[in-house]
Structures are given as C-alpha cells and as structure tokens.
C-alpha cells in the first residue's frame, strides 16, 4: 500500500480522474416485492445467515423518511421479505462478522413529537447475535453520527470507523479507533476516534459504508464522498481507500462508480437524482467485485466493477 500526504481533492477532480478510465460496464436494478409498493434502497451486500443468502434493505414510502429495515431472500428472481425475520425501525442497514458473531446496525432517527415529518436527531445503533433471529442491542453511537463501521483485524482486535459531523473546521471527517472486544464499543470511543485528515475538502463530506480486512492486513474501505452544488443539489459517489491499522497511513480516495453507469429510474426528490449510496461490496476473487448500492434514494442496484482493493494488496 502506498500512502499519500496529498491534500484532499474535491469531488469534481475525483470524478474527472475516474472518468478518464471509466469501465464500460452497466449496472442492473434489483427487484424487490412484498413491501406494499414501498421503495427498497440503501441495501447491504448479500450475506449468509443460517445457510441462506440474505439482503438487508431500507424500506419506506416515497414521500416519507420513516423507514423500516427488513431482511430479504431471493425467490424466483425477486427479493422478498424473509419469513419470521425481525423488522427494525432503522435506516441504512449494515452488517459485519466479528469473532464469528453477526454484528448488524443502522441509523435510528428521532422525530419531533408535534411534527412527524421533522427529524430532530439520529444515531447509529448496533445489534449482535449468532443469527438474524437472535440479534440483541449492545451499543449506540453519539448523537448525529452516522457511518460507524467495524472490522475484525489481524490478531483479533477490532477497527472502528466513525464519522463526526461537523468537526474542527470541516463539514465531516472519518475517524478511526481500535478496541479489543465488542464490549468496549462505547460512545466515548467513537466520539474520540483519531481523525483521518486530507480526505474531504472543508465543504464536502463522506463516510465509511463497509470495511474489509485484506490479505496483507490492510483495511480496504468502501465508502461514499459527497458534495452539494447550487440549488442544494446533492451528488454522492461510491469511493474506496485503504488504511494501514499499524502505521495509521491511508491512501487517497478514489471514486469507483457514477450514476450514469446504472439504468435510469425514479428519484425520491429532484435534488437526489445523482445519489449513489454504497451499500456493500462482494469480492468475486477473479479481479472483479459486485457493488451493491442505493440509487437516488428510491431503488437498489448492483454492478460488477474492477475490484477496488486489489491494488492495496500489492
């Protein structure tokens, strides 16, 4: 892994760099059913639970921010709610496995008591268990902090990626801390994590969506980088970088996909048309990876891309 001390590049420069060698691949829409006409988006990559492939996804009406996270299984080409699986009042689900145990989480959103559409705050919450049906709550992040993710490191320690927002003189940064066990995951650990500088410009932001332990002990991070232009139009791009947990060095960000690589479709609001929210990455073992992503806060898609972590293992 070659780390860099370069200053942060804005989204526009990262996107221009990506488009110079953008692959000609096109993604595909993932079909969901059994949710009463609601949208399913911001999904995880599939993972095995009790021997069956499962996807967790954010489910909500097009005109609402009140979400449920549900677990889906594939039946005859469509993903349908899994019988008997729990349903959580969470947004943007994620998962990982730590010391052989399933860790699941999402964003818990708080609404004003007199205005059911007004969001007052939010936080990341964590559950653990031997399977989906046995999940129990065990930790909560600080208020207003999304994009907290865990990864098991070599030797068994646990890496913790955070996203304070705002922080110092920037809109957001990614933080990193380490703990010895899940029992040590506290609000203080997440709040006081060391900041990774020079990833985002002061007015742009992003976060970690999923962390992968690579073959050389380096952590490959799947995330998103975002900006806003005139008219409050949002632009979200899937990105990747690597962190050496021993030295603390990290590589520059690189965009790995853009909205025009996916089929046209609906959007929750006009300002969200150019939003891709990285959900998860399945490494295929042949130099490619399948990226699972929310699209325009209304749909879920997937695309096969070059594995963005291969270069970090060299």
- Predicted TM-score (pTM) of the model is 0.96
**Looking at the domain assignment, is residue 97 inside a domain?**
yes
**Looking at the domain assignment, is residue 6 inside a domain?**
no
Instruction: Give the pLDDT confidence score for residue 4 in this predicted structure.
Output: 61
Instruction: Give the pLDDT confidence score for residue 2 in this predicted structure.
Output: 66
Find out whether 199 and 173 touch, Cβ atoms under 8 Å.
yes
Torsion 7-13-18-21 (CA) sign:
negative
> Which strand (E) or helix (H) includes residue 233?
strand 233-243
**Looking at the domain assignment, is residue 183 inside a domain?**
yes
Residue 6 has pLDDT above 80, yes or no: no
| Residue with the two structure tokens 């929750």 | 268
Q: In the predicted model, what is the mean pLDDT of residues 201-213?
A: 97
**For residue 108, cis peptide bond before it (omega within 30 degrees of 0):** no
**Looking at the domain assignment, is residue 2 inside a domain?**
no
pLDDT, tens digit, 9 for 90 and up, residues 135-176: 999 999 999 999 999 999 999 999 999 999 999 989 999 999
Residue 240 has pLDDT above 90, yes or no: yes
Q: In the predicted model, what is the mean pLDDT of residues 180-192?
A: 98
Task: Please report, for the domain that includes residue 248, its CATH number.
Answer: 2.115.10.20
- Burial class of residue 261 in the structure, from the number of CB atoms within 10 Å of its CB (0-12 exposed, 13-18 middle, 19+ buried): buried
Residue 57 has pLDDT above 90, yes or no: yes
Q: In the predicted model, what is the mean pLDDT of residues 209-223?
A: 98
| Percent of the chain's residues with pLDDT above 70 | 98
Q: How many CB atoms lie within 10 A of CB 120?
A: 11
Number of domains in the chain: 1
**Looking at the domain assignment, is residue 91 inside a domain?**
yes
The torsion of the CA quartet 160, 165, 167, 171, rounded to 10 degrees, works out to 130
Residue 20 has pLDDT above 90, yes or no: yes
**Looking at the domain assignment, is residue 1 inside a domain?**
no
**Looking at the domain assignment, is residue 4 inside a domain?**
no
| Percent of the chain's residues with pLDDT above 90 | 93
**Looking at the domain assignment, is residue 80 inside a domain?**
yes
Q: In the predicted model, what is the mean pLDDT of residues 68-74?
A: 98
H runs (alpha helix) in 94-167:
none
Range of the domain at 34: 11-313
Residue 36 has pLDDT above 80, yes or no: yes
Q: If phi over 0 gives left and psi between -120 and 50 gives alpha, with beta otherwise, what is residue 37? A: left
The contacts of residue 55 (CB under 8 Å, 6+ apart) are 30, 43, 44, 45, 46, 47, 71, 72, 73, 79, 292
6-15, 94-103, 275-284 — which is least confidently predicted?
6-15
What is the distance between the alpha carbons of residues 238 and 236, in angstroms, rounded to a whole number? 7
Confidence of residue 231 (pLDDT cuts 50, 70, 90): confident
Find out whether 268 and 237 touch, Cβ atoms under 8 Å.
no
Task: Supply φ then ψ for residue 239, to 5 degrees.
Answer: -140, 170
Task: Supply the mean pLDDT for the chain.
Answer: 96
Find out whether 124 and 149 touch, Cβ atoms under 8 Å.
no
Find out whether 206 and 222 touch, Cβ atoms under 8 Å.
no
> Which strand (E) or helix (H) includes residue 125?
strand 119-129
Instruction: Give the pLDDT confidence score for residue 115 in this predicted structure.
Output: 83
């Amino acid at each position: 892994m070659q780390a860099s001390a370069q200053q942060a590049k804005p989204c526009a420069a990262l996107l221009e760099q990506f488009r110079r060698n953008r692959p000609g691949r096109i993604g595909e829409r993932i079909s969901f059913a059994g949710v009463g006409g609601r949208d399913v988006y911001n999904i995880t990559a599939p993972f095995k639970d009790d021997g069956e492939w499962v996807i967790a996804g954010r489910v909500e009406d097009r005109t609402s921010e009140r979400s449920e996270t549900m677990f889906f299984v594939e039946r005859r080409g469509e993903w349908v709610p899994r019988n008997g699986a729990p349903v959580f009042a969470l947004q943007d689900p994620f998962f990982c496995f730590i010391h052989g145990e399933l860790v699941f989480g999402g964003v818990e959103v708080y609404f004003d008591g007199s205005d059911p559409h007004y969001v007052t705050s939010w936080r990341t919450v964590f559950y653990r268990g031997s399977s989906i049906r046995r999940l129990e709550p065990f930790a909560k992040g600080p208020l207003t902090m999304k994009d907290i993710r865990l990864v098991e490191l070599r030797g068994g320690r646990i890496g913790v990626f955070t996203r304070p927002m705002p922080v110092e003189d920037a809109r957001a940064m990614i933080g990193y801390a380490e703990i010895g066990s899940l029992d040590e995951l506290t609000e203080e650990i997440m709040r006081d994590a060391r900041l990774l500088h020079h990833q985002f410009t002061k007015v742009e932001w992003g976060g970690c969506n999923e962390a992968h332990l690579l073959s050389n002990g380096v952590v490959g991070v799947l995330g998103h980088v975002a900006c806003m232009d005139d008219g409050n139009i949002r632009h979200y791009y899937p990105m990747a970088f690597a962190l050496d947990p021993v030295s603390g060095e990290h590589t520059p960000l690189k965009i790995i996909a853009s909205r025009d690589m996916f089929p046209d479709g609906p959007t929750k609001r006009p300002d969200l048309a150019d939003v891709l929210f990285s959900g998860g990455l399945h490494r295929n073992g042949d130099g490619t990876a399948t990226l699972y992503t929310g699209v325009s806060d209304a749909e879920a898609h997937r695309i096969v891309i070059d594995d963005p972590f291969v270069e970090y293992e060299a």
